[in-house]
Amino acid sequence: MESYPFKSIELKWRQRWEDEKTYRTDLNDVERKLYVLVMYSYPSEKKLHIGHWWNYGPTDTFARFRRMQGYNVFEPMGFDAFGLPAENYAIKHGVHPAVTTRESVGYIREQLKQIGAMYDWSKEIDTSRPEYYRWTQWLFLQLFHNGAAYRKRAPVNWCPKCATVLANEQVTAGGTCERCDTKVTTRDLEQWFFRITDFADQLLEGLERIDWPEATKAVQRHWIGRSEGTEIIFKVDGHREEIRTFTTRPDTLFGVTYIVLAPENELVERITTPQCREEVERYVSSTREKSEIERITLDKAKEGVFTGAYALNPANGDRVPIWIADYVLETYGTGAVMAVPAHDQRDFDFAARYGLDVKWVIRPKNPHDKPFVDRAFEEYGVMHDSGPFDGLTSEQGITAVTRWLEERGSGGAAVSYRLRDWLVSRQRYWGAPIPIIYCPACGLVPVPEDQLPVMLPEEIENFTPMGTSPLGACEEFIKTTCPQCGIPARRDPDTMDTFVDSSWYFLRYPSADIHDKPWDEDLTRKWLPVDVYVGGPEHSSGHLIYARYITKFLNSIGRIDFDEPCIRLVHQGIITYRGQRMSKSKGNVVNPDKLIDQYGADCFRLYLMFMGDYVVGGDWTDEGIIGIRRFQNRIWRLINTWAAKMRSVAVGQPETVDRKVERTLNSTIKAVTFDLERFQFNTAISRLMELVNRLYLYTNRSEEVNLPFLKRVIETMTLLLGPFAPHMGEEMWEMLGHEGSLFDQPWPKWDEQVLKEEQVTIVVQVNGKLSGRIEAPQGIDEQSAVVRAMAIAKVKRCISGKKVKRVVFIQDKVVNIVI
Ligand code: ANZ
Ligand code: ZN
C-alpha cells in the first residue's frame, strides 16, 4: 500500500481554501464570535523557524476546533516589519531595509500559508506600510493631545553598538542590550516618553480580571512594583533646602545615621561644600557610565562620596551627614534615602566601609532572641531608643510615625512604583516617524491629523545608525514648514519604538482594509477584546504591558469601550535544542524547511504537538517524526481500504455496534475535546493513536466488520483529526463521500451513557467457592448484580432448594451467596 501522498494533497487543499475563501471571516456575524490571535512575527530573515511553527500550528489547531464547535473564528496574521531586527539584517547585507523587509514578508507569507492555518489574509497588516503607520502616528497624537506623550531630558539607557536608546524593558537583567548583548550605558538625552505610570494602579487592578498565566501576572506586578511607604522630609542644616526621602520603614527613623542622595539628584550641586566638590563631581560623572540595572545589582560593593553637608532628623534633631551613592536611583521614590545601617544590610555595608555610625532602634519581638551586632536586623520587631514610640511593634510604629510626621508637616504616606514612563524615541531609521514639527516661532507643533502619514523617506542613502537618527541628515525629510505659521521648520528626526506599533495592532486587524480611520468603531465593539491570545512568555514585561497600557489609555479617552486587550492568554513553552534555548542569537535554530519538504506540513504540525506539553515546551529532536509519519500512513491505509466500501452504505442502514470500539470512540471524543480546551495537544494525539489501534483490531477481524458502524466511527475519527492535520482531514472527508469543508462540520459529541457502561467482570461465589462470572456495567447496584448472578446455571443448581442466608457484595468485584 502506498504511503500517504502528502505533497499533492496539501497543495490541493490550500489551493481550494484560497479559491473558495474558506477562511474569510464574516465579521458581521458576531453571535458566537471568537477572536483568536497569535503574536505576529518580525521578518528579520526570510525564514520561518521551528519556533514559529510551534507557536502558529497548535494555535491554529485550537482555532479550527473552536470553529467546528460553532464559533465564528477570526484568526488574522500580519508582520511586525519595522524595527531593529529587520534593520540590522538590512545593514548586514548592505541592502535597503525597505527592500529586504518587503522581500522577507513575501517569503514568510508563503511559508505561513504552508502551515495550513485559517488565516484571513484579507485582513493582513504590515506595520511598516504607510497604511498602517499612519495610524501609529495618529495614536502618538492622541497621546500627545491628552498630555500622555511628553519630552524630557533624562538619563536613558544607551546601547553603543545599536547606537540607540533602549527602554528599560529592552535591557537584560545583566545590564546588556537585549538585541546585541553589548553592555548598556547611560546618556542624558531629550526624549519622548509615554505616561504609562499614570496607569500603574489600573494595570495592577486589571490583572485580577483576566485569565492569564499566574507567572505572567506576577512578572507584571513585579515590573510595576507598587510599594506603599512614607515620605520623610529632612532639612539641610544651614540651607533652605529640604530632602524628601521615601522609606518603607519609618519605624527605623530614630536609627538614621546618614542620608544618601542619588548622584543625579538636583540638590547635589546646591549643597556640596567647596572642599568636597571635586570628588563629588568625579563620582557623578563616573555614574553616567553605568546602567541602572548595573547600579542596583546586589552583590557589587557599595561606593559613594560625602557632600560635606548635613541634614536634620525631624524626629530627634540628629545632625547626620549627606552622602551620594549610585545604589540610590534618581528615578525611584524621591531619589533620596534615609540610611539606617542597623536595619538595612545595604546601608550596613556602606556604613562599615566608610566608618559611619550604626544605631540600633529595633529589637527582635521574641525577648530571648539575641540582638544582632555583625549585620543588619531587617525584620519587623519592637522599637526602642525611639522617644515616644518605644515599645511599639514595627507594624504599629509604621502607622504611628507616619501620622506623627504628617501632623508636623514633616512627611506622610506615599506610594512608589518601580514602573517608569515608557521611553519611545529611537535614533534609528526603520520605524514610524514621530509626527512632531519644531518651529522657531511656535515651538513644538503636532502634525495635523489630516496630514498623516509623515512618510518615511524610502530613497534615503545612509540608514546606518550614527548616534543620532539617520533621518536627521536627510534634508528632504527634515526640512518642512510649520503647519501653524508656515515658516521653515524641522521635523523630529527620531522614530518610534516598534513596541508602539505592536501596542495596538490587535485593534487594527478587523479593520485592516478600512483606510479612512484607525479602526471601525462598530467592528471593534463587536470583535474586541481578543478572546484568546497566544505568544511567548518573554513578552510578559514588554509588549504585554504596553498593549494593556494603550488599551487603557484609549479607553480613558473614550475611543474604545473595554480596557484589557485580551481575556485569555496562553504562552507556548520553550523549545530547546540539546538543552539550550533555540534562538537566532545562539545560532542553534533548526530550519524546518527540509523536514516539511520530506514529511509535509500536517506531519510536522502533528509532530510538534506530540513532542511535549505545549505550555511547558520540550527539547527538539527530529527522530520521532518518523513515528508520526507511520501514524499518518496507518490512517491512510485504513481509509483507502474502507472508503469505497463505506461510500455504498445507505443513510439509515442499521448498525451493529462493537462495544469496545464504541467505548474507545466516545472516550476519545471526550478526551480530545477536554485536551483541546486546555491546549494539551500531545495527550489528545495519543488518544487518537489509541483509537486508530482499536480500529485496526476491529477491522482485522474483517468477517465481523459492520460497514454502517465502521463508517460512523471513521467519519468521527476524521473530524477529530482535522484540526491537527487539516489537509489530511479534508482529503479523508472527501474520500468518505462528502462535499464541502470538513471545517464546516460540527464537532463530534460523546455519549456519557456509553462511557458509564464501562464493563467489569464480577466473580460469583456460593459459600466462597467460585461458581461463575458475570459481565456487568461498572457501578452496577447490588440487587441487579445478585439477580444476574442467580441466573447463572451453575449457581442456580447450587442454591436450588436451599435457603439464602445473606449475600456479600463487593462493588464491581464479587457476589458471594451464603447458603
Ligand atoms: C529606610 C530604611 C530602613 C529602608 C530600613 C529599608 C530598611 P521598596 O520596598 O523597593 O519600595 N529606597 C528608597 N528609595 C530608593 C532609591 N531611589 N534607590 C535605592 N533605594 C531606595 O524599597 C523601599 C526602600 O528602598 C526604602 O526604605 C529605602 O530604604 C530604599 F531598615 O528607607 B528604606
Ligand atoms: Zn510655527
* pLDDT at 556 > cutoff 80: yes
Q: What is the DSSP letter of 746?
A: P
Calpha distance 730→718 (Å, rounded): 8
Give the ligand with the smallest distance to the CA of 326. 1
Grid coordinates representing 110?
Answer: 508563503
Residue 170's pLDDT is: 77
- CB count, 10 Å around CB of 79? 24
- For ligand 1, whether the C-beta of 335 sits within 6 Å is yes
Lowest mean pLDDT among 66-75, 310-319, 386-395, 700-709: 700-709
Alpha-helical regions (H) of 612-680: 625-647, 659-677
Alpha carbon separation from 702 to 493, 615, 697 (Å, rounded) = 77, 42, 10
d(Cα 532, Cα 76) in Å, to the nearest integer? 12
Average pLDDT, the chain: 91
> Ligand 2 mean position to 440 CA, how many Å?
6
Give me 78's grid cell.
500580519
Mapped onto helix, strand or coil, the DSSP state of residue 31 is coil
Between the alpha carbon of residue 19 and those of residues 14, 68, 300, 744, the distances in Å are 9, 21, 64, 16
C-beta of 344 in contact with ligand 1 (< 6 A): yes
Average pLDDT score over residue span 616-633? 88
* Cα 248 to middle of ligand 1, angstroms: 6
Residue 9 has a CB neighbour count (10 Å cut-off) of 19
169-220 confidence digits (pLDDT tens) = 778 878 888 878 888 888 877 899 999 999 999 999 999 999 999 999 999 9
What is the number of the ligand 1 atom nearest to the C-alpha of 378?
A: 31
Confidence of residue 587 (pLDDT cuts 50, 70, 90): confident
User: Whole-prediction pTM value?
Assistant: 0.84
Q: Is 343 in the pocket of ligand 1 (CB under 6 A)?
A: yes
In angstroms, the CA 382 to CA 281 distance is 41
Whole-angstrom distance, CA of residue 626 vs CA of residue 614: 20
Position 178 scores a pLDDT of 82
Ligand 1 and 248: CB distance under 6 A: yes
Q: Which residue has the higher pLDDT, 660 or 397?
A: 397
**CB neighbours of 805 closer than 8 A, spacing ≥ 6?**
818, 819
Q: Are 110 and 515 in contact (CB under 8 A)?
A: no
φ and ψ at residue 433, rounded to 5 degrees: -60, 145
The atom of ligand 1 lying closest to the CA of 328 is 18
Given pLDDT bands bounded at 50, 70 and 90, which one contains residue 594? confident
Q: Is ligand 1 within 6 A of the CB of residue 614?
A: no
Nearest-CA neighbor of 756 among 786, 781, 787, 720? 781
pLDDT at residue 291 in the model: 67
φ, ψ dihedrals at 810, nearest 5°: -110, 115
* pLDDT, average across residues 77-104: 86
- Whether 15 has a pLDDT exceeding 70, the answer reads yes
Q: Is residue 585 over pLDDT 70?
A: no
| pLDDT reading at 289 higher than 60 | yes
Atom of ligand 1 nearest to the CA of 342: 31
Per-residue pLDDT band for 755 (boundaries 50, 70, 90) equals confident
Query: What mean pLDDT is predicted for residues 512-517?
Result: 95
Cα dihedral: 631, 632, 634, 638 (round 10): 140
Rounded Cα gap, residues 172 and 190, in angstroms: 23
- pLDDT of 75 > 90? The answer is yes
Whether 79 and 41 have beta carbons less than 8 Å apart is answered as yes
Read off the pLDDT of each residue in 670-680 and give the average, rounded to a whole number: 95
Residues 6 or more apart whose Cβ sits within 8 Å of residue 798 = 766, 771, 819
Query: Can you tell me whether residue 669 is helix, strand or coil?
Result: helix
Centroid of ligand 1 to alpha carbon of 316 (angstroms): 20
pLDDT value for 615: 87
* Average pLDDT estimate for 4-20: 94
d(CA 52, CA 59): 11
Q: Are strands 33-38 and 530-535 parallel, antiparallel or unpaired?
A: parallel
Q: How far is the CA of 191 from the centre of ligand 2 (A)?
A: 21
Residue nearest (by alpha carbon) to ligand 1 atom 32: 247
% pLDDT > 70, the chain: 97
110, 154 Cβ separation under 8 angstroms? no
Which residues fall inside 5 Å of ion ligand 2, going by CB?
A: 439, 441-442, 482, 484-485
Q: Of all protein residues, whose CA lies closest to atom 11 belonging to ligand 1? A: 227
Beta-sheet strand order (sheet of 185-194)? 164-166, 149-159, 185-194, 422-423
Among 170-179, 249-258, 286-295, 456-465, where is mean pLDDT lowest? Answer: 286-295
CA dist list (Å): 200 to 414, 497, 543, 561, 742: 14, 20, 15, 19, 47
**Ligand 1 pocket test target in 232, 260, 337, 380 with most atoms within 8 Å of CB:** 337
Beta-carbon contacts of 242 under 8 Å, excluding residues fewer than 6 positions away, are: 233, 234, 235, 236
Nearest to 698 by CA among 689, 708, 690, 710: 710
Given pLDDT bands bounded at 50, 70 and 90, which one contains residue 14? very high
Please state the atom number of ligand 1 nearest to the C-alpha of residue 229: 11
Spatial distance between the Cα atoms of 789 and 816, rounded to a whole number of angstroms: 9
Question: From the alpha carbon of 362, which atom of ligand 1 is closest?
Answer: 31
Q: How far is the CA of 489 from the centre of ligand 2 (A)?
A: 7
Q: Residue 300: its pLDDT value, please?
A: 65
Average pLDDT (252-259) is: 98
Q: Collect all residues with Cβ–Cβ distance below 8 Å to 528 and sequence separation of at least 6.
A: 35, 506, 507, 510, 560, 562, 565
C-alpha of residue 479 to centroid of ligand 2, in Å: 13
Asked if pLDDT for residue 46 goes beyond 70, the answer is no
Looking at 50-64, 730-744, 777-791, which range is the least confident one? Answer: 777-791
Best mutation site among 247, 330, 372, 416 for ligand 1, i.e. most ligand atoms within 8 A of its Cβ? 247
